[in-house]
Structure 1
Amino acid sequence: MGGILGAGPGGAVVAVPAAVFAAAVGTALFFRGNLGRYGRIAGWQGQATLAVLATALAAGALAVWPLPPGADGLCAIDGGAPVLARPAALGELPGSWSTLALHIAAAAGVPAAAGALARYRYRRGFWFTLALAALIAVAVEAVQATGMLGLYPCAYRVAAVDDVLLGAAGGAAGWLLGSAAVRVLPRGWPGAVMDAMPPGLSRRLGGHLLDLVLWWYGTLLVVGVLLEAGAVAVGGAGAAHKTALVAAAVVFGLLVPLLRRDRSTPGRASMRLAVAEKGSVGPAARWRAAVRAALLYTPVTVLFVLDLHLWALLVVLIHGAPELVRRDQAGTADLVTGTRITTRTVVTGGLPGKLIRYQPSLQTGPPPQRVGN
């Protein structure tokens, strides 16, 4: 197997899967937290919530992109990219004005989006927002200055104090933009609702996509760490990754769901989805969940092990075609096993953490009379 593992130790064998895996884990935790606190993500407030996730992912991409494919020659000139600690030093770097303008737009734009959302979505004050934007900028520059926290032997991108100043300025401008948005747009913070409606197609696809990314890049990361540690030879990295793929599919695709009451894999669990029995609100029987998992994940695992990645889309098409036309949104594996995808709330109960609960007053008599002057 080529690609990342073919780079061998000292390349992107750990850095690339670590970056993607961290983004997937962060996304999963974000959805799990928001769905648990507020219930279904929908409407204008749902779009604002998704904008928060997009901004966080953009900040991560700004910090690490573009990841070098290897370390060969990376540190040959002056030990890597420099750190520009003097203000206004960015303009002295070689390159076109268009490149510099694009760099400035990215360095200020992401903190500006964070500042706007801090004011509009979270109703934060100016100084908090300014500190948040500066912290984001400092974190981005720290990742760049340390070669992605030491995963590369030296820095591969220039880190500059100018970018921190641009980030702080962008955050301040974003806060002003968010203040204007508060006045002209609907409220940005969500109200908690019961998550008992059938989950939409995008939510179910998101759970499967998270499972796929966590599975593929998680196993790449494990093999990459073993490769760097010398526990796996470069020539045997491909076989080790295939073994890891099969083991992870069995553990996280089959065993973990059988132990969980919602019968969900990690990605679908982060979306607070559950596998229920057809016509019932209870969780699917374990044998049904096991057969469903085998129908879905066995062909995908075999195709990935055989390096026929694109053919896995055929599995998606076969399973998902009935979902597009059936009112109950059942896929092929659901029809065969008598299961349906629903929300965790339907199967296990519970209310969103931010849902206002009505509690009747303990007072039994008439309300006290107000005495005026």
Structure 2
Amino acid sequence: MLSSYLEPARTGFLTFVGVGALLLLPLIALHYWRFGRVEPRRALVLYGLLAYGLVALALIFLPFPDRDSVCRGETMLSTTPFQWVTDMRHNMAATGRSGIQAMVTSQAFLQQAFNVALFVPLGVVLRKAYRRGPLAVVCIGLGVSLMVEVVQYTGNLGFYPCPYRIADLDDLISNTGGALLGWMVAPAALVVPTVRAQEEVTAPPGTVGVPRRLGGLVADLLVVVLVSRLLLPELEWALALLVLLRVVVPAVSGGWTFGGWLMRYRTRRPDGERAGAWRIALRELLGVTGLFAYAVVVSPRSDQWWEFGLDLVVIAVVLVGIFVVPVFRRDQLGWHERVAGTRTVVVRPEHAPERVEAGHR
């Protein structure tokens, strides 16, 4: 029996991988619009529910039969409660077995156990992540199960001329019981996080998000690329220009870069005061400028086979530290900013450049 579920489960998981990838950018955009950052708990719960839902649907509806193989005149509706108990007894009588072992290994019992287990994760998530009570879990579990049975009884909403799966009252009972069981065991599910209220996870007012800083960085890099192409084709000159734009100019101008000016932010100390030149230099040494310097100056100096692996490690550490880690932090600070003691602060367009939002002082 177990082998019959492996292929549908595999199909459901592969579908989740594809759908999850398609939803990644919209999810990031939605979170930045609502919270000013990606909220990891909500993202984890969403992807967990997505994976669970797609695998569950695959287990329920797959494999799809040929349209010509349905409509054989069989009764595809069972309205007798606990019919599975009678079926279990028939299974045991047909095999001439009795006792608990025979009962729990019968086809009818295993089918109901599967129906219960299928809805346990739903109850766990509803209680642990969304703090729903037992009545709400029972109602939601019953509603979801009822929708599944209606789809089955209508031949997948009319796609098939007749249903190919039995719409069963026992499935409603088992699924609802599984959701309630999940609610009962939810406290033991340590891997399921609790979704916190929006005001607890939203980035502080005036926080410069990673997408905004990335836009400023792209603008600075475009200047470097254009000037290098036209006037200074050597990579060493491009590195010098990047240092000028990302280190020297901010140190002199009070934290401004060309990209920061376009995106209305600049680099300051955590208290909002002017960052010294050494802070800005350290920030850039551990960030994109340092990575570019490594690629231009350090990496080409050696042809050892292990240097390629080192290059990958350096690239991964820098990019994760400055782009991935901040996405999930409320303050949006990367490793390089935390070490250097700097942060980017929003400048209100209607104020003079020296005015910084009060939330950053």
| TM-score category (smaller protein) | 0.3 to 0.5
The TM-score, its normalising length taken from structure 2, stands at 0.44
The TM-score, its normalising length taken from structure 1, stands at 0.43
Q: Which has the higher helix share?
A: 2
Structure ID, larger Rg: 2
| Larger relative contact order (Cα-Cα within 8 Å, sequence gap ≥ 6) | 1
